Structures are given as structure tokens and as C-alpha cells.
Amino acid sequence: MADAMPAAPGPLPVGPVGRRGLGQWGVGALIASEAALFAYLLFAYFYAAASARPGWLLEPAPKLWPALPNTLLLLSSSLVAWIGEKGVERGRRAEALTGLIGAFVMGAGFAAVQVYEWSIKPYRLGTSSYAALYFTTTGFHMAHVVAGLVILAMLALWVALDFFSPRRRIVVSAGVLYWHFVDAVWLLVFATYYLTPYLGFAR
Amino acid sequence: MTPAALRVPAIDDDTPELRARLHAIWATTPGWKGWFTTVDHKEIGIRYIVTAFVLLALGGVEALAIRLQLAGPDLRLMTPEQFNIFFSMHGMTMIFLYSSPVLSGFSNYLWPLLLGARDMAFPRLNAFSYWVYLAAALFLYTGFLTGNGPNDGWFNYVPYAERQYNPGLNQDFYALGMVLLGISTAVGAANFVVTAFKMRAPGMSIDRLPILIWGTLTASVANLVVVPAVSLAFFLLWLDRQFGTSFFRPAGGGQPLLWQHLFWLFGHPWVYAIVLPAMGMVSDGLPVFCRRPLVGYSLVALSTVATMILGFGVWVHHMFATGLPGLSLSFFSGASIVITVPSAVAVFAWLATIWTGRPVRSTAFLFFAAMILLFVIGGVSGFMTASVPVDWQLTDTYFVVAHLHYVLIGINVFPVVGATYFWFPKLTGRMMDERLGRWNFWTMFLGFNLGFLPMHLIGLFGMPRRVWTYPAEMGWSALNMITTIGSFAFAIGVLLFFVNVAKSWRAGALAPADPWGGSTLEWALPSPPAPYNFAVIPTIASRHPLWEEALDENTPRSTITRGMMLDTGKETVTTTPLDAIPDRIVEMPCDSWAPLLLAVALGILFVALLLKLWLAIALGALLVLGALILWLWPQRRLLEREPAHG
Amino acid sequence: MSAPPLGYLTSAGERAAAIVPLTWFVLAVSVIVGMVVAVLLLAAIVHPRGRALPTAIVAGDDHGLAWIKWGLVLSALPLIVTLVWTMAALGRVAGPPRSPALVLDVTPRQYWWEVRYDARDPADRFVTANEIHIATGARVLVRLHGGDVIHSFWVPQLSGKTDAIPGQTNLTWLAADVPGRYRGQCAEFCGLEHAKMAFEVVAEPPAAFERWRRAQLQTAPPPSSDAAQRGARVFQSHCASCHAVRGARAAGSTAPDLTHLMSRRLIAAGTLPNTRGSLAGWVRAPQTSKPGALMPDQQLTGQQLGDMLAYLVTLK
């Protein structure tokens, strides 16, 4: 009979360290589920577009101003948020706050421009199925932007309160990861609603 | 005091002193406060199971009302309006509020015990998931009790569900209730997935998982990505109804078929999600009563995963009659026929286990063995509907109703009742009455088959689903009467089960730790287990930690009585996803109000949305936000400054 | 016992006939598989080799794998046959006929069936409801239009189901070999009276069908008797906003066309026999025999009802 030996690991990290820990898995699962949600929203668009009659597309050539610069603004906010995360990692509070608050301001700017864009659309939620899809998809994304902004604000507050250290910072990493997700999803939404018409889809 | 960055976990024997220390750390606060704030997976698991059984009883009463109305031709016990609400409530209750939550309950209770863990990965999320499930059930039943139950069947096709044809609040209750329930399912699924990959005892590599883990894990991965489809569909329906959008309304360019795609993209994987864990129960429970390991472990595990992967590709077989192009029909027909293969693997594995083992005819065994037959009957009738031209006749007749009842009762209710007989001693510390168990089994088994086997014939004779009555000259009267009698016999069987549970819980014989001679870790624990489950973290060396002596002389042995103590706080250990090598000591959360608070806030928000009370919606949203921030507020103990920062 | 009117284990036309043998085959396979498993289970359980718990553990992991191997090999055969047969049958029944003898536009509505007979010459087109006549041996193309909610067109003896979905037009077809009346039924849940939304397909020899068709093209004759004339006025004031009678001024289109009401065997979408008594009952209190039907109770006096019936029976 072989000997019974309990697992006797050497030194183990206690709790989350850096970006690693159970929370990372949790945020991963959340993002997987949310990504699926957006996949279905985009599926709904493509399904409706593929089986639609001509004229369904209310904007055969969507205006890229201000949507394109706004997209670039949101994408670069991801970079700024990453700088904030690095700041926490290096223990530099000023850098961390600059990054997080900077990302917050850029995200809020994106949201403001998006609201402005909604307001100048010639159609409304109830106009047609295209309009409903456009406003709902961008609306769902807006809800995620707002959630992301709350997260960035809370992170900045907690950094200001000096809650984190280079080692204990999984909350920051998870929050910033979520912000990256919000930005990445926008790229898909943007490509679907603003770019595929130029490729001739559903025109 | 802040914890050290690294620590070598101390190793020692399981001693009474250690148990006393752990008990003080892990026990839920006694009294009502603990009742509302507990995060113990065992508490939550039992709550899930009890709630699901209550809903099973409600759904059952609805079914009996339906069966009375259909017992003979041209009966007028119910109006069509009542009938439509009753059959929709019945389907919705059984499919969404009973069959999945009951499995979540068992998995919640059993997973950490099977895995050698002290709790699930996210205990507070676990509590939250239960509270939201309860809230959704209350929400949906409030609709029913105020005369606003769903009335368009459980799959709720548009445009009939649109406001133009369905002006009451019925569909708004259903739509919002389903979105709420979806939150519970999705976070529960996330918890299972992370638990499966991170919370296993050292040495429990991926090829040593009990099949129940495979079943629930597969179901959870699927739920994580398909539940958003149905939540979205219901949300869009609500927008159509309340804000004049036209996602599904053809008048505004919407597509009624988009609903069906979104619904069945979710719906078919969901069907597997509510049977795979139950199949896992049989795969784990049956071998114990056959006194041998399951035949073909790897094949069965693989077939579980394969079923789900194929299951993503067959949703269109619910839509064969919607006028799809021929190529699409051929593809989905073929996929639906092929999906029988992995199911066949499981069936042959179980049969082989019984034939090459020494079956012990306990009540649990009878339920598990009966499940094999019912599974096969439900499987072959499903295989018949996979053939498109045949399905054009079968679909939307009582043949499909018979099929889905063999699937849901055969592969969900029977294993669940068997699992209750099997694990009841572990859950409650008491044995269930075996004599009453025999009566329970035979009444359920004979009643069920008396009721539902003839129903196939009713379908072949052309009775459509969801008709509130039928004329005498259709030739269905006698068979319907038999079905009604059978359903009542079956209901008596279920009642006997509830009686046995109640009676045994109060005064059953005291259960030893391992009444059945089981092979998995939970049987190494006292019945019921202590709040911390394992006093020392076990180390696993095989698939059958408790049968190693009996099975083989020469393999390494698992150790259950000596291991990491982790008794300096509410701690446990996480391991690597595949090989289960310890990689981190983690601090588990204590009792918390946050889950209940968040669930209540969500409940307020959804009631406000239903009634479109804007002020209350804003208030609900703020409450949700506040509860979330409270939940996520970094715990000083865990997260903040190291000593260097003061 | 006579065959159930909606049964589909027998057939009366080429489209349904192509499916019946396949249905019997998969049914037989299913019954055999179920019985084999039942016998295997019973045999293993009735004579258990073990007794009370706990007994020794009997075998290692590898025993019994042959069951799975042989089980799969044996199941492969019926699966492959079914797959091939399915594709073959699908090829025969799926596509609508290229040159149909008759083209119908069917629009199901809550809870009745509008049937338009298409023809190249507009003068040959007409509309009827709830009773479809076809010639035996003719392949009939049915274009299904969505009227309100989703319904499903199903005549088990002649053809499987096809849904009628708002916003799209689905094609199906049917054919009957033998003269007779074949019951059809809505097969997709559509609301309160989904149950009572039936129709009939009447297959007749070509000559009889042609006679029927010519009769349907006629407009209704003006009422001759006093009672019928009064009845026509009652009809005009109470019924004409929904029902049409060609030849009279009634031109409603949200309820069945009644120009040839008396030529139909059943009324209220297959719910009641078309007798004077049940017609009277139906007009007087539609919600009694078909609760939930969209036809409102018109509160007619006895006199009005009698006159109306005198008028209705002239619509032959």
C-alpha cells in the first residue's frame, strides 16, 4: 500500500495579490456573460438587417462625426485607466489618481457626446425596428458606461483614502478590466451600426 | 493587523480542539439575524431545495387543474382564460422555478462537500442568488394571484404576447420576472464555474471530479452565456409593450421570429442544463448501490460536455414549422439526431454499471434505475421529433407534451427524488423511511407511466397542445381520462414523498456518517456536516477517495484526517484549475446583510418598473447602487495598506 | 372505433403519405429500444446479486466498457437509416410543387381561416372561409399569410404543419388521393380560442370540385321573402362591418365571408354543425359555444334573430 501523504505546499500567497485572486475569476465570468448579452444584441441587429426590406436602414451612411472621434476618446480612456492601475501597482498615488480620474472624465465626455448624438437623431425609439435596435443597443452600452464610471469614481475615492497597495489592489485591476471591456464592446457596437452599412450590409 | 503576504499552511491531524476553533470561526450567527445574513452553502442549498419543492407542489396543483378540465370532452370547469393562465403558469413554474433551482440547491449543498472545499468560491453571491430566486418566484406568483399570470405558454411567442393582443399586466409580470430570475441564474452559474475551477481539494485533478460536478459545471457554463439571450428577449418584449418599440412587431419592421431565435438559443441549452446535473446525480448515486465504480467514467464525463456543445446547435429544431430554408432544416435535423449519441453513452454506462455490479434495491436505487428507462423513453421520442418531416406532424401535439414530461419528470424529478433519498441523511442527519419509500416509488412510477405513456398516443391521434377543450368526436376522450387518472396517481406519489420528507426530518432514524458505503468525500463527514465542512483540507489521490482500499492495493491514498488546518481566520485554500495544486490561501466572507439588501433593492426596482413609477424606479436604482457599493467596499482586513504604509 | 380525424398514422394524400412509413419506422425503433432497455433493467434488478449494505466493492473501472462499445455500434444503424431516410423524405415533401393545379392564399386570424382562391383571371378569384375544397389528385400550393398572431396550418391526413407568421409568407402544399372531408386545425397557440380554430379540406373528384368552384363565384341573390329582406337589413346593421356578402352591401373583412355560408358543413371554424338550430344559437350567443371568440353578442330580439336566419339560409 502506498503512503498517504497530505498535500504540504510551501509558502502560499494569502488573499489576492496583484491582479490575481478569486475576484479576477469572478470578473471574468461577469464579462463572459455580459459579452454574450451584447452578442445577442448584435445578433438581433444582423438578423433583422438580413431579413429586412430595403429602406430598413434609417441611416444608410451613418455620420461618423462625432461618433468616430468619440470612439477614439473612449478607447484612449482605456489607456489612461491602465496608467491609473499602473500607478497603484507602483505605489504612486498621484499617478493612480490622475489615471483613474482622467479615465472617468474621458468616459463622462464620451457619455455626454453620446447623449448629444441621441438628441440629434431624426428618429426616436418607437420609429422602427432599426431605431429600436439602435437606441437599445447604444442604451445598453450607455448603462455599462455609467456602471463603469461609478466603478472608476469609487476606485479613485478608495485610492484617495489610501486603501490599496502594490500588493493589495485586485479591486483596482478588476475595475479597470471591466472598463476595458466596456470600451472593447463599444468598438463592436460602433463597427456594427456605423461601419457595416459602408460595407454594403443591409443597404 | 494585516496578514502576511506569504504563509506556509500548518499541517496537522483532525482533532476536537481544531474542530472547536473552526466552529467558532465558521458557524453562522444564531437566531434570526444569522438566518438573514448566512452565507453557508449548506443553509443556502437547503433553502433552494425547499423553495423549489414548494414550487413543484404549486406547479403540480396547476397541472391537476388542467388535467381535470381535459378529463373529458367539452368540459367547462375552467374558462379558456383561466386555462391559458394555468397551463402557462404550470410550464413556467416547473421549467424555470422548480427544475433548475432544485438542482442548484443540491449542487450548492453538495459541491463543496464533493470537492473537499469549505464553501463555494463566492458565498455572498450564493446567498444573493437565492434571495433573487425567491424574489422572482414571489414576483411571478404575485402576478398569478392578482389574475395576471403569464397566458401565452412558457415560450411566450410574439405577437400574441404583444400589448395589442394581450393588454393586461400578465406579460409584463412574466417579462420582468424572467429578467429578475435571469440575474439569479447567471450569478449562480458564475459561482459554480469559478468554484469548479478554483475550490477543489489538492489532488482532485480534473479527471477525478464526480460526474455531478461535470453536469452542473457544463450546465453553468452554458447558463452563463445563454441566459442573457432570454433575459434580453423578455426585456425587448417589455420595451415593445410599454415603450412602443417594434423589435417583434411586424408593423414597425420587427421580426416575430427573432423572439423564437433568441428564446430557443437559450431554451434548448436550458433543457440540457436542467437534466445534465440530474444525470450526474444518477452517475454518482447509482454506482454506490451497484457496489462498483461507474463504467466508463471518462466517456460519461465527455458525453456530458459533448451534449452541451451539440446542444448549442440544435435550437432550430423547435422551429421546424416556421418556414425555414431546406438547408437549414437538414443541418438542424442532422444535429438533433446526432445528439442522441452522447446520451446513449450515458445510458449504456448506467446499464453496464448495474449489470456488472451487485445492485442493492434501496429506494434511491429504484428511482435512479427508473430514471434510466424514463430517460430512454423521453430520448427516443425526442429522436422522433428530430426527423423534420415527422416533426411537422408531431410538433405542437400532445406527443411533444408526453416527450417533454418524460424528459423533465424522468430526467429531473425522478433523479431528484432519488437524490433526496440518497443524500437526505447527509443534509439532515436522519434517514428517510425506506418502507414508505417503496410506496412512494411505485405510486410515482406507475402513476407517471399510466398518465404519460398513453399521452403519446393522444398526440399521434392528433390532439394539439394548449387547447382548453376538445370535441367528443376527435377520439381522444378515453385516453385523456386515463391520463388524468394517472396524473392524480402520480400526484399522490409525490405527496407520499413530501410526507416521507416531513416525517423523516422530524423523527427519522439517526444517520451515520456513511449510511450507504459511498465513495465520495461527503460520506467522510458527519451527518450533517460541521459549518466548516472539512476540519483539515483533504488531499485527493483518486476518483473514489473512500473506496481506495477496496479497489486497488497499489495506488496512492487520499488523506482526509490530516492536512492543512487553516484555522487562523475564515480561511480556505484555492488550487490550480486543472491539476488542483494549492496556489493561494483565501479569506472567506463572514455573514453579511449585503446579499439580502441587494436582492430587496432589486425587488423594489422591478416592482417599480412593472408599475412604471418613475420616482420609485429612481429610488430602487439608487438602492441597488448603494447595496452594491456596500458589498464591494474593500474589507480593511483583506485589502488595504501593508504595514509599511501604516 | 373509427380513425381519429386528426390522426396522422394514416394518410390520404401524397404529401402526408411520404411521411407515414418514416413515422412508423421511427416509432417502431423507439418502441423496440424502450422495450429492450426495460427488459435489461428488469433482468438486472429482479435478480440482484447483492444483498444488504455495505457489501464489498466488486469491480475496477474497466469492466463493462464493452456495453458502451456495442451499445453505440448497435444504435448507429437505426440512427444512420433515420438520417438518410429523413433527408430523402424531406426532399420529397419540403419543396412546394412547381406547377400547382391550384393556388390558395390562406390567412389565419383569431380564430378562423380566410381562404382566397387565386386565379390568373381576376374574375375567377373568390374568397371563402373555414372550408377548403380541392380536387383529388391535384397538387395545391398554399401561401400562408400572417394575419394577426402566429397560427399554424395543419391537415394531418394531407400535410404536416406550417406556421403563418406576420410579416412573412410561408409556402406549403397538400394533395388528396381519396375524396373525403379532412379536418384541419390551428396548431400554434394563438389565444383564447386556439382550441376551436379548425377547418375542413373537402377533396372531391375534379368535376364536383369544378361545380363547387363555379358556385362559389356567384354572388348572393337578393332576398325574396319579406322575412329575409328584413333579415338582410338586420344583417347590414349588425354584421356587415365585419362580414362580407358578395352581392349585398356587406363588405367587412375581419370575419368570414358569408356569401355561401350554407354550402359549408360547419360553422364557427369547425366548432358547430351548420344547422338552423346551432346557427341561431351561435348568432344569439357566440360567447357561449366559443368563449373568447371575437364575434360579439349582438343582443338581437327574437324577431330580429328569426328574420336574420331567414336571410342567412338564402346564402347557399
Q: For chain A, give every domain's residue range.
A: 22-53+64-199
pLDDT in tens, B318-335: 999 999 988 889 999 999
Nearest to C68 among B348, B464, B466 (CB): B348
**CB within 8 Å of chain A, chain B residues 59-78:** none
- C-alpha atoms less than 13 angstroms from C-alpha of A83 in its C-beta half-sphere: 14
Residue B645 has pLDDT above 50, yes or no: no
Closest residue of chain B to A163, computed from CA coordinates = B640
Quote the mean pLDDT of chain A.
Answer: 94
| A22-53+64-199, CATH topology level | Four Helix Bundle (Hemerythrin (Met), subunit A) (1.20.120)
pLDDT in tens, B84-134: 999 999 999 999 999 999 999 999 999 999 999 999 999 999 999 999 999
**Segment holding B109, helix H or strand E:** helix B100-115
Looking at residues A161-166, what average pLDDT do you find? 90
- d(CA B498, CA B64) in angstroms, rounded, equals 17
pLDDT in tens, A132-160: 999 999 999 999 999 999 999 999 999 99
Looking at residues C277-287, what average pLDDT do you find? 95
Is there a contact between B586 and A6 if contact means CB atoms under 8 Å apart?
no
pLDDT in tens, B559-590: 999 999 999 999 999 999 999 999 999 999 99
pLDDT in tens, B212-257: 999 999 999 999 999 999 999 999 999 999 999 999 999 889 999 9
pLDDT in tens, C148-176: 999 999 999 999 999 999 999 999 999 99
Nearest to A30 among B190, B236, B538 (CB): B190
- Residues in chain A with CB shorter than 8 Å from the CB of B227 are 33
Residue C38 has pLDDT above 70, yes or no: yes
Is there a contact between B11 and A56 if contact means CB atoms under 8 Å apart?
no
Nearest to B640 among A11, A51, A164 (CB): A164
Nearest to A13 among B6, B557, B632 (CB): B6
pLDDT category of residue B358 using cuts at 50, 70 and 90: confident
Closest residue of chain B to C170, computed from CA coordinates = B323
- d(CA B546, CA B553) in angstroms, rounded, equals 13
pLDDT score at A1: 41
pLDDT in tens, B281-322: 999 999 999 999 999 999 999 999 999 999 998 999 999 999
Nearest to B586 among A22, A51, A130 (CB): A22
A contact chains, 3+ CB pairs < 8 A: B
Contacts of B57 (CB under 8 A, 6+ apart): B494, B498
pLDDT category of residue A3 using cuts at 50, 70 and 90: low
pLDDT in tens, B6-40: 899 999 999 999 999 999 999 999 999 999 999 99
pLDDT score at C62: 67
Helix, strand, coil percentages in chain B from 3-state DSSP, rounded to 5: 65, 5, 30
B contact chains, 3+ CB pairs < 8 A: A, C
Looking at residues B264-287, what average pLDDT do you find? 96
Residue C54 has pLDDT above 60, yes or no: no
pLDDT in tens, B410-466: 999 999 999 999 999 999 999 999 999 999 999 999 999 999 999 999 999 999 999
Looking at residues A109-138, what average pLDDT do you find? 96
**Which strands form C112-117's sheet, in the order they lie side by side?**
C126-129, C112-117, C102-109, C140-145, C169-174
Residue B205 has pLDDT above 80, yes or no: yes
pLDDT score at A5: 84
pLDDT score at B486: 98
Closest chain C C-alpha to B14 CA, distance in angstroms: 26
pLDDT in tens, B526-558: 999 999 999 999 999 999 999 988 887 677 899
Tell me, yes or no, if B552 comes closer than 8 A to chain A by beta carbon: no
- d(CA C244, CA C230) in angstroms, rounded, equals 17
pLDDT score at B555: 79
Tell me, yes or no, if B316 comes closer than 8 A to chain A by beta carbon: no
- At residue C50's C-alpha, the angle toward residues C48 and C51, to 5°, is 105
pLDDT score at B1: 40
Task: Note the pTM of the prediction, 2 decimals.
Answer: 0.96
- Residues in chain B with CB shorter than 8 Å from the CB of C188 are 157, 321, 396
Nearest to B584 among A21, A33, A130 (CB): A21
Is there a contact between A167 and B227 if contact means CB atoms under 8 Å apart?
no
Is there a contact between B159 and C156 if contact means CB atoms under 8 Å apart?
no
Test the C interface: residue of B380, B394, B520 with most C CBs within 10 Å: B380
- Residues in chain C with CB shorter than 8 Å from the CB of B469 are 195
pLDDT category of residue B644 using cuts at 50, 70 and 90: very low
Residue B608 has pLDDT above 60, yes or no: yes
Helix (H, G, I), strand (E, B) or coil at A70: helix
Helix, strand, coil percentages in chain C from 3-state DSSP, rounded to 5: 35, 20, 40
Distances in whole angstroms, Cα of residue B133 to Cα of each of B160, B177, B184: 27, 10, 6
Count residue pairs from A and B with Cβ separation < 8 A. Answer: 218
- Residues in chain A with CB shorter than 8 Å from the CB of B245 are 125-126, 129, 131-132, 136
What is the per-residue DSSP string for B549-591? HHH-SSSPBPEEEEEE--TTTTEEEEE-TTT--EEEEEEPP--
pLDDT in tens, B36-81: 999 999 999 999 999 999 999 999 999 999 999 999 999 999 999 9
Q: For chain C, give every domain's residue range.
A: 14-93, 226-312
Residue A92 C-alpha cell reads as 504612486
pLDDT category of residue B3 using cuts at 50, 70 and 90: low
Closest residue of chain B to C156, computed from CA coordinates = B393
At the fourth CATH level, the homologous superfamily of domain C226-312 is Cupredoxins -  blue copper proteins (2.60.40.420)
**Segment holding B610, helix H or strand E:** helix B594-611
Residue A129 has pLDDT above 60, yes or no: yes
Tally helices (H) and strands (E) across chain C. 8, 12
**Segment holding C164, helix H or strand E:** strand C159-164
